[in-house]
């Protein structure tokens, strides 16, 4: 089996091949690490690589296979971990000079579960400082580049995770999502990314907390790989007070391609968003795939208020709560945009934060009836395809310039407010060869429905056999 066959092999197939002794964990790790060594200098997806430790674990994994020992669901399968997530004995920098040499003494619950399932951590993936923005760049490691065009952003804040997966530098990646940070880079890079229901995957220990906004979930090339990863990382853990009660969840067995009768609502703009014309054409065209699968599709036709200003208040206060005590000492070594965000958060009045929290609750009262009518809601994942790596922001969308065009993530953060499951699936490529994502939002706690719908779309319009021009 050639290296290219291994690096793009889905984790489901890889785990089965290892169990059946058709593929060695050492072969897998050698191929993945060779790929990282060759491509990471170009892409900068990994900020900390654990090559020697990963090789040692691969040898131990191979020995256990040959001895006929008990194997976990992900035995010998490589996984990367976003650099916001605690890893015992491995530095976790948060993309910040403040924590450049910080080494946690414990694993995040998700990392703990992946290791228990036999997965091998290959390293930490790049993220913006404290995950505070939608592109991946920081003063410690620099920018992560898009595998489809090295002059474009990979998205953020799980940009290193998505870029690594799509570039064949590991089939599984741990991401986090406080306002779109799994779905944004998945859309930019052409990966599958799932933001599970809030509490479905237990969180902690570690920073940033992001209170009830941040979700931990998988970024993968295929839906089945994400389903397998969810079976390992999801389920109750009382160390997280918000974790949901279910344990022993099964997702792989529910990936049935039949969508006959499923009720699908479509919104191209959530009634307020600006969208790039090419993105709109590509995402609208994806509706025909759902129709061919027997889904009942309607224009959702609702009226919503843009939650950007409300999200901005809660987001700024949350970031400030993590960083404010370090601002005086570290100001000159932090991203200036982050400094401004922290200062803004520090100056929000308590009453205004309370008003924002109330507005968040009122927003749910508008969203909840939509999911009485529809099983899933479809939207573009983002307003734009990946943009130039020299800037952090776009200034024009669909011919509109100025303040409205600054909001290029209007479809993602509303569903952090509501805690619903939401995924981004690749649904096409622009004329410039950049991926475009379609967002699938499920009803409350309907993670299995989101995965089933995404799997059906993938089967009808596959994307994982498309590789970026890196070789």
319-352 pLDDT per residue, tens: 999 999 999 999 999 999 999 999 999 999 999 9
Top-confidence residue, 248 or 77: 77
Catalytic (active-site) positions: 82, 157, 181
Residue 175 has pLDDT above 80, yes or no: yes
In a domain, 232, yes or no: yes
pLDDT of residue 301: 92
Residue 121 belongs to what domain range?
3-460
In a domain, 471, yes or no: no
pLDDT of residue 403: 83
Domain count for the chain, please give it: 1
In a domain, 64, yes or no: yes
- Identify how many contiguous H helices and E strands the chain contains and give both numbers: 17, 15
On whether the CB atoms of residues 179 and 416 are closer than 8 A, the answer is: yes
pLDDT of residue 2: 65
Beta strands in 255-364 (DSSP E): 263-266, 296-299
Across the chain, mean pLDDT equals 96
pLDDT of residue 245: 94
**What's the rounded Cα separation, in Å, for the pair 263 and 180?**
24
Residue 404 has pLDDT above 90, yes or no: no
| SS3 at position 173 | strand
Which CATH number goes with the domain that contains 88? 3.90.1300.10
Q: How far are the Cα atoms of 104, 161, 347 from residue 93, in angstroms, in the given order?
A: 10, 15, 27
In a domain, 198, yes or no: yes
In a domain, 199, yes or no: yes
In a domain, 137, yes or no: yes
Buried b / exposed e over 83-106, threshold 16 CB at 10 Å, is bbbbbeebebbbbbbbbeeeebee
In a domain, 467, yes or no: no
Over residues 36-50, the mean pLDDT reads 98
pLDDT of residue 256: 83
- Contacts with 441 (C-beta within 8 Å, 6 or more apart), sequence order: 376, 377, 378, 379, 415, 420, 421, 422, 450
In a domain, 468, yes or no: no
Choose the weakest-confidence range: 200-214, 260-274, 341-355, 402-416: 200-214
Within 13 Å and on the Cβ side, how many CA atoms surround 352? 15
pLDDT of residue 1: 63
pLDDT digits (tens, 9 = 90+) for 268-323: 999 999 999 999 999 999 999 999 999 999 999 999 999 999 999 999 999 999 99
pLDDT of residue 3: 66
pLDDT of residue 236: 97
pLDDT digits (tens, 9 = 90+) for 223-244: 999 999 999 999 999 999 999 9
Buried b / exposed e over 247-272, threshold 16 CB at 10 Å, is eebebbeebeeebeebebbbbbebee
Over residues 193-199, the mean pLDDT reads 98
């Amino acid at each position: 089996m050639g290296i290219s066959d291994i690096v793009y092999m889905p984790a489901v197939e890889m785990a089965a091949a290892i169990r059946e002794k058709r593929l060695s964990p050492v072969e897998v790790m050698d191929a993945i690490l060779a790929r990282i060594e060759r491509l990471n200098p170009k892409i900068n997806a990994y900020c900390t690589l654990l090559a020697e430790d990963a090789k040692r674990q691969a040898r131990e994994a191979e020995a256990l296979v040959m001895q006929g020992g008990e194997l976990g669901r992900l035995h010998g399968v490589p996984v990367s971990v976003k650099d916001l997530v605690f890893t015992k004995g491995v530095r976790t920098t948060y993309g910040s000079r403040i924590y450049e040499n910080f080494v946690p003494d414990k694993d995040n619950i998700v990392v703990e579960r992946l290791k228990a399932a036999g997965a091998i951590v290959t390293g930490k993936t790049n993220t913006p400082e404290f995950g505070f923005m939608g592109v991946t760049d920081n003063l410690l490691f620099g920018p992560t580049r898009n595998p489809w065009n090295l002059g474009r952003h990979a998205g953020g804040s799980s940009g290193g995770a998505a870029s690594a997966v799509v570039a064949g530098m590991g089939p599984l990646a741990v991401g986090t999502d406080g306002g779109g940070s799994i779905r944004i880079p998945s859309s930019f890079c052409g990966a599958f990314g799932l933001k599970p229901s809030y509490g479905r995957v237990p969180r902690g220990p570690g920073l940033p907390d992001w209170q009830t906004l941040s979700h931990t979930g998988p970024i993968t090339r295929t839906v089945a790989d994400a389903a397998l990863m969810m079976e390992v990382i999801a389920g109750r853990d009382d160390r997280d007070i918000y974790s949901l009660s279910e344990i022993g969840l099964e997702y792989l067995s529910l990936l049935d391609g039949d969508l006959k009768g499923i009720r699908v609502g479509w919104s191209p703009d959530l009634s307020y968003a600006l969208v790039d014309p090419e993105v709109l054409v590509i995402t609208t065209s994806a509706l025909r795939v759902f129709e061919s699968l027997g889904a009942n599709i309607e224009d959702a036709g609702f009226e919503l208020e843009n939650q950007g200003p409300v999200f901005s208040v809660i987001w700024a206060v949350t970031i400030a709560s993590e960083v404010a005590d370090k601002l005086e000492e570290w100001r000159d070594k932090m991203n200036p945009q982050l400094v401004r965000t922290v200062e803004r958060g520090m100056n929000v009045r308590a009453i205004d934060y309370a008003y924002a929290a109330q507005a968040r609750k009122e927003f749910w009262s508008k969203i909840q009836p939509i999911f009485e009518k529809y099983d899933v809601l479809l939207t573009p994942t983002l307003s734009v395809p990946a943009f130039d790596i020299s800037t952090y922001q776009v200034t024009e969308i669909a011919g509109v310039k100025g303040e409205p065009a600054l909001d290029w993530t209007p479809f993602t953060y509303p569903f952090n407010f509501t805690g619903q499951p939401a995924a981004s699936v690749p649904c096409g490529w622009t004329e410039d060869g950049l991926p475009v994502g379609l967002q699938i939002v499920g009803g409350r706690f309907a993670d299995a429905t989101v995965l089933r719908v995404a799997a059906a779309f993938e089967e009808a319009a596959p994307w994982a056999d498309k590789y970026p021009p890196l070789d």
